Amino acid sequence: MKSALAAMIVATENFIKKNPDHHAQIAFMITSDEEGDAANGTVKIVEYLNQHNITLNYCLIGEASSQEKLGDTIKIGRRGSLHGELMVLGKQGHIAYPHLAINPIHRCFQALDLLTKTEWDSGNQYFSPTSFQIYNINADTGANNIIPGSLTARFNFRFSPTSSPDSLQKKVEAILDKHQLHYKINWNLSSNSFLSHPGKLTKACESAIQNICGIKTNPNTTGGTSDGRFIASTGAEIVELGLCNNTIHQIDESVVIQDLNNLEKLYQHILEKILC
């Protein structure tokens, strides 16, 4: 994204040199709190904009959205993210006397299996169906002859607008209740889903990619969350367009230099389509 920011700045400089009499307002929204909880980044900027009645018409995000070729994918929305932490309660005991214990691992297997096989929704035109993934299970007491007294499972939903966090929670709890589990569950909504309906900015991006990259782009909502979820509340049209993401967060993360040069051209083309 730092490369995209550099490309945006150079594109804006070139746009202003070419169009010195333009009447638009161009702003850069830059934050160092973009990963993780993102509690003091874009969300705070949006709060400031709202407090001062500053409106946005369009927002172009330099997220690394491309997959195999520069411009092959743009994002016009994102799925929501809902985390759950499930504790299934049993009764600890000696492994040689299972009749005196309640094994939470055995008790919850069928419920967890059903959760992984459930079709939560069918998605829609822009969103793939909601996905459910268990990413951590722990029931270890540290001893090899003890039936544990509890099991903790952590899981995540990436959900489309066709499902709400509340509806997903109710479905999960209904499955757990069906299997007569004694459990506790905590929920954490990381982000809601959003969709920015394609408009002038999307068309400008499609035009730029066709002209400079010679390909037709694919607008979609796949992948993880982004700061676009905070900007969505402003009502601005949002598009994410950036470099290829095939090495993001990897050792030796890299980009193709020509892609970086072309990205600057894409951004300048978009500015001219939108503001001239």
Name which of 100, 84, 81 is nearest 92 in CA terms: 100
Q: pLDDT tens digit string along 79-91?
A: 999 999 999 999 9
How many angstroms separate the CA atoms of 47 and 49, rounded? 5
Please choose, from the candidates 8, 11, 15, the residue with its C-alpha nearest in 3D space to the C-alpha of residue 276. 15
Q: Do domains 2-78+193-275 and 80-191 have the same CATH topology?
A: no
| Residue 61: both structure tokens together | 């995000």
pLDDT at 145: 96
pLDDT above 80 for 264: yes
Question: How far is residue 185's CA from residue 86's CA, in Å, rounded to a whole number?
Answer: 4
Write out pLDDT tens, residues 150-199.
Answer: 999 999 999 999 999 999 999 999 999 999 999 999 999 989 999 999 99
Q: What is the band of 259 on the pLDDT scale with cuts at 50, 70, 90?
A: very high
pTM score, whole prediction: 0.84
Question: For all residues of the chain together, what is the average pLDDT?
Answer: 95
Question: Which of helix, strand or coil describes residue 71?
Answer: coil
CATH 3.30.700.30 fits 80-191, yes or no: no
What is the reported pLDDT for 165? 98
DSSP 117-144: H-------SS-PPPEEEEEEEE---S-T
* Domain 2-78+193-275 = CATH 3.30.365.10: no
What does the domain layout of the chain look like in residue ranges? 2-78+193-275, 80-191
